[in-house]
Structure 1
Amino acid sequence: MEQILRLAEEQARDHRAEAQRAAEEMLRVARAEANAILAGARDTAAGSARDAVVDSAGDDRQGGQAAK
C-alpha cells in the first residue's frame, strides 16, 4: 500500500512539474505577443505624431491654422 502511495505522489509531482512548465511557456508566449502588440501601437502612435507635426508645418503661421 505504501508503495502505491509513493508512486502516486511521484506521479503527482511529475504532473505538477509538467503543468508548471506548460504554464510558464504559455506566459512567455503571451508576453511576447503583448510586447509585439504594444510595439505596433507605439509605432502607430509615433507615426501619427509625426504626421501631425508635418501637417502643422503647412499652416500659415498666423493663429496656427492653414490659409483657406
Structure 2
Amino acid sequence: MKATVDPDRCQGHARCWEIAPEVFGLDEEGHGTVLVGEVPAEHREAARRAADNCPERAITVR
C-alpha cells in the first residue's frame, strides 16, 4: 500500500500525523507529508483512518 498527500489540498489540520505518525509527518509549514514509500502492514489500518479523517480529502491510500 502507498499513501500520498496532495499538497494543493492539504490545509495543515495534522489529523494524519495524529492518527498515523509512523506514516505521516508534517513539513515546516505544518502540512502533511508521507514518511514511508510503502506503508507497512501493521500501519495500513491507521493510514486508512487518517485518509478517512482528512477534512480536505488530501490523502490517498492504494
Same fold (TM over 0.5): no
Indicate the structure (1 or 2) with the bigger Cα radius of gyration: 1
Bigger RCO of structures 1 and 2 (CA < 8 A, at least 6 apart): 2
Where is the helix percentage greater, Structure 1 or Structure 2? 1
